[in-house]
Structure formats: structure tokens, C-alpha cells
């Protein structure tokens, strides 16, 4: 070249864009060169990856890698805006056609892989409807339900009947018929759930004793019944109390019944529930519906006290709290006022009654330390007792 001579003008670009010039910014690693070899190579790579994808999840990653924001074709498409105006149309056509081929291949492969996966799933999940099946699969009986049924069986084994009554009870059956004074603490709202509206005379029963009054009015005497069921009291839920719990009460009305019959009945129930020959005792107590009344205890079956009254209890025993005795429940001879309230002549008939807490029996028999375990609904609690699920 001669000094001072002008350089020859460059040849015009080919319309086939075999060497499309790009702006200076396109030479950076983030912006691909927009020419036919680069775009063709990107399309071929994408088609090969699409063909090699073995599942829809893998194909999704291929889609992200080749037509996602970081893919060559997407970055080239974004770079078109920076090309000279006369090159944008040709570059757009080149990139658009390449991207269209890739999208079409993705759609076809997606349909193919989805159909294959669906077919495989159907084959794996095929159910042979000709096989025999258990139309009534076994469920889980809560230990309280199982224990309540066992106690009912004990009553039936003694020749007694099982009676039930409503859980929403008339105040007369729940209190008045059982000789509760109008100002008895149990009738206060802090002890009993009353059913709205105020003054309705309806309560959630606080014990199953109302069943006794109902059955006496319905059947008359003589009568031997056990009354299991759910009762309600305004107690806070803690390790040993719950506002909703289960009781079973027994009532025997006949001629010439005495406290000896009561003690014999309770001893029989204690043997059936706890095994062995339990040593029992009666402690004087007070209940409006029995007179005389007592609390019945039996000798602790967990510590040294189980060997008899001539052996000391373990001071650290959690079952009897070191006393050697476990409270079984309240009992007594039916108060004559209760018999008169239901039309029975107390001069001709006598009776005895007792009440037992089913949750307490379960805690004593099976070592349940916390009432929360019974009410939380954890199926593992039922499994612990061998209940089939």
C-alpha cells in the first residue's frame, strides 16, 4: 500500500449471511455470533439432546438448557436488536427458524415420552379385579372402647343387663332424681356443662347415674344393670383429668340386698379386671344418692403391698403413691330418697350402686401415665395394645 493512499472499500455482505457482522458488544462471551454455522450448531446440539432424553424430567432440563434464557438461541435472539438495521431481518429469520425446529422437536418428544411414561404407570398399577379381596378391612378399636366392651362382658357374665341413655340429659334425671340438693356444688356452671339457652333444664350428663333412674321408671324392680357411657365435666385436660371421659355404673335393686352383696360384686369385678385375689377395703364417704356411702380401694398390685396388708408399700411406687392402696370408685347402698323418686318402696326393696372410671382402670391396668395419650388420636397408642390396623 502506498503511503497516503486510500484503502479499498469492503465488498458488500452476502444476502445468505454466511458471515453476518455483529456489533462490538456481540464479541463478548455472553452474546453469541449470529451466523449460519453458529446457529446451525446450536440447533443440532439441541436436537441431539432432545433425542437422547429418556424421560419428561430429563427433557425439561434439555428445554431449559437449549431454549431457556441462558441458551444460545435465546441469547442470539436477544442480540438481534443490537444489529445494524439492514441485518436484523436476515438474522431474525435465521434464529427464528432454528428455534422453531427445536420447539417442534421438543413438543414431539414430550408427547412421545409422556405417552410412554403413562403406559408404564398403567402397567405397574394394573389391578387384577379377579383376585379375592377383603371387602371389610379391619380397623382400629381404641383401648378405651375395648376395655368398655370387656367390662360389659363382665356384667353380662354375672347375669346383669347393659343399659344406655342420652348424653344430653334432663336436669331432673341428672340431679333431682338422685337426691342432689338445689344448691349442691355439682349443679353450678363451673362444674357442669349446661345446654343453651339458659334455663333450658338440659345438661351434658355428669355421670351415667341418670340411666339408672330412667331404667327404674321404665322396667321397675327387681333390676340388675350396668351403665357404661361418656360423661362430661368442666375439668381442664391434664395428665389425670379430661372434660370428656367414660364411666360405668352398676345398680342392683332387689329384696334383702346388703353391703355384703356390694362388696362381693366389687371383688368379683376387681378379679376380672386385674387378676389374682385382690385385697379390698371400704372407706366411709358421702354421695347424695347412696346411704351409707363408701370409697372402695384395693391393695396395690404393683409394689410390695400386693403381698398383703402385712407387707409395706414401696414409698416410690407411682401406682399407689406409696400408700399401698388404689382407689377403685365410689359405692354404697341406694338412698331411700332415690328409690321413692322413681316409685320404688324402700321398705320392700333395697339396692346398691357403684361407679368406676374407665380411663382410670386403663391407666392402672396398663401403666398409662398421661391422659393426653388417650385423647390425642395417635394410632400408635392403639397399636401398643395389639389392636389390628
β-bridge pairing 161-162 and 223-232: parallel
Residue 116 sits in the same domain as residue 263: no
Does any domain span residue 19?
A: no
Residue numbers of the domain that contains 53? 24-124
The model's pLDDT over 141-170, given as tens digits with 9 standing for 90+, comes to 788 988 999 999 999 999 999 999 999 999
Residues 90 and 237 in one domain: no
**pLDDT > 70 fraction of the chain, expressed in percent and rounded:** 89
Q: Is residue 56 part of a domain?
A: yes
pLDDT of residue 111: 93
* Residue 10 domain-assigned (yes or no): no
Check pLDDT > 90 for residue 19: no
Note whether 173 and 307 are same-domain residues: yes
Over range 36-55, report the average pLDDT.
90
State whether 96 and 182 are in the same domain. no
Contact call for residues 58 and 101 (beta carbons, < 8 A): no
Per the domain annotation, does 132 fall within a domain?
A: no
261 and 155 in a common domain: yes
Q: Is the pTM of this model over 0.85?
A: no
In tens, the pLDDT along 116-138 reads 999 998 888 888 888 887 776 56
The reply to whether 38 falls in a domain is: yes
Q: Could you tell me which residue, 225 or 87, shows the higher pLDDT? A: 225
Domain assignment present for 131: no
Could you count the other beta carbons within 10 Å of the beta carbon of residue 200?
A: 12
Same domain, 283 and 251: yes
**Overall domain count for the chain:** 2
HEC-encoded secondary structure of the chain: CCCCCCCCCCCCCCCCCCCCCCCHHHHCCCCCCCCHHHHHHHHHHHHHHHHHCCCHHHHHHHHHHHHCCCCHHHHHHHHHHHCCHHHHHHHHHHHHHHHHHHHHHHHHHHHHHHHHHHHHHHHHCCCCCCCCCCCCCCCCCCHHHHHHHHHHHHHHHCCCEECCCCCEEEHHHHCHHHCCCCCCHHHCCCCCCECCCCCCCEEECCCCHHHHHHHHHHHCCCEEEEEEEEEECCCCCCCCCCCEEEEEEEEEEECCCCHHHHHHHHHHHHHHHHCCCCCEEEEEEEECCEEEEEEEEEECCCCHHHHCCCCCCCCCCCCCCCCCEEEEEEEEEECHHHHHHCCCCCCCCEEEEEEEEHHHHHHHHHCCCCCHHHHCCCHHHHHCCCCCC
- pLDDT tens for 287-322 read 999 999 999 888 887 788 878 888 888 998 877 888
Query: pLDDT digits over 182-192, tens only?
Result: 887 887 776 88
Show the cell assigned to 128.
387384577
pLDDT digits (tens, 9 = 90+) for 174-224: 999 998 888 878 877 768 899 988 788 899 999 999 999 999 999 999 999
Domain boundary pick from 93, 124, 155: 124
Mean pLDDT of the chain: 84
Q: Show which of 124, 153, 183 is a domain's final residue.
A: 124
Same domain, residue pair 310 and 180: yes
Amino acid at each position: 500500500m502506498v503511503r497516503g493512499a486510500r484503502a479499498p472499500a469492503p465488498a458488500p455482505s452476502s444476502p445468505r449471511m454466511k458471515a453476518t457482522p455483529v456489533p462490538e458488544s456481540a464479541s463478548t462471551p455472553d452474546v453469541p455470533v449470529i451466523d449460519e454455522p453458529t446457529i446451525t450448531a446450536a440447533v443440532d446440539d439441541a436436537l441431539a439432546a432432545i433425542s437422547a432424553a429418556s424421560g419428561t424430567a430429563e427433557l425439561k432440563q434439555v428445554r431449559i438448557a437449549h431454549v431457556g434464557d441462558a441458551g444460545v438461541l435465546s441469547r442470539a435472539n436477544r442480540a438481534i436488536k443490537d444489529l445494524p438495521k439492514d441485518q436484523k431481518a436476515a438474522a431474525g429469520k435465521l434464529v427464528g427458524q432454528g428455534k422453531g425446529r427445536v420447539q417442534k422437536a421438543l413438543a414431539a418428544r414430550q408427547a412421545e415420552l409422556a405417552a410412554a411414561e403413562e403406559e408404564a404407570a398403567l402397567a405397574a398399577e394394573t389391578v387384577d379385579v379377579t383376585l379375592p379381596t377383603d371387602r371389610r378391612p379391619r380397623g382400629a378399636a381404641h383401648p378405651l372402647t375395648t376395655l368398655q366392651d370387656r367390662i360389659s362382658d363382665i356384667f353380662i357374665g354375672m347375669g346383669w343387663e347393659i343399659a344406655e341413655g342420652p348424653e344430653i340429659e334432663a336436669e331432673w334425671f341428672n340431679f333431682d332424681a338422685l337426691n342432689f340438693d338445689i344448691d349442691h356444688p355439682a349443679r353450678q356452671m363451673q362444674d357442669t356443662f349446661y345446654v343453651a339457652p339458659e334455663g333450658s333444664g338440659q345438661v351434658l350428663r355428669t355421670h351415667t347415674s341418670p340411666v339408672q333412674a330412667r331404667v327404674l321408671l321404665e322396667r321397675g324392680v327387681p333390676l340388675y344393670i350396668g351403665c357404661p357411657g361418656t360423661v362430661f365435666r368442666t375439668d381442664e385436660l391434664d395428665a389425670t383429668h379430661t372434660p370428656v371421659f367414660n364411666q360405668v355404673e352398676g345398680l342392683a335393686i332387689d329384696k334383702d340386698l346388703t353391703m355384703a352383696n356390694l362388696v362381693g360384686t366389687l371383688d368379683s369385678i376387681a378379679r376380672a379386671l386385674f387378676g389374682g385375689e385382690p385385697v379390698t377395703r371400704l372407706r366411709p364417704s358421702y354421695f347424695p344418692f347412696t346411704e351409707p356411702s363408701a370409697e372402695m380401694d384395693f391393695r396395690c398390685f404393683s409394689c410390695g403391698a400386693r403381698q398383703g396388708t402385712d407387707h409395706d408399700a414401696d414409698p416410690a411406687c407411682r401406682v399407689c403413691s406409696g400408700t399401698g392402696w388404689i382407689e377403685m370408685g365410689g359405692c354404697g347402698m341406694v338412698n331411700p330418697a332415690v328409690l321413692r323418686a322413681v316409685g320404688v318402696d324402700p321398705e320392700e326393696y333395697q339396692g346398691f350402686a357403684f361407679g368406676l372410671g374407665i380411663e382410670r382402670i386403663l391407666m392402672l391396668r396398663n401403666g398409662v401415665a398421661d391422659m393426653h395419650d388417650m385423647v390425642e388420636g395417635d394410632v400408635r397408642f392403639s397399636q401398643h395394645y395389639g389392636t389390628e390396623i
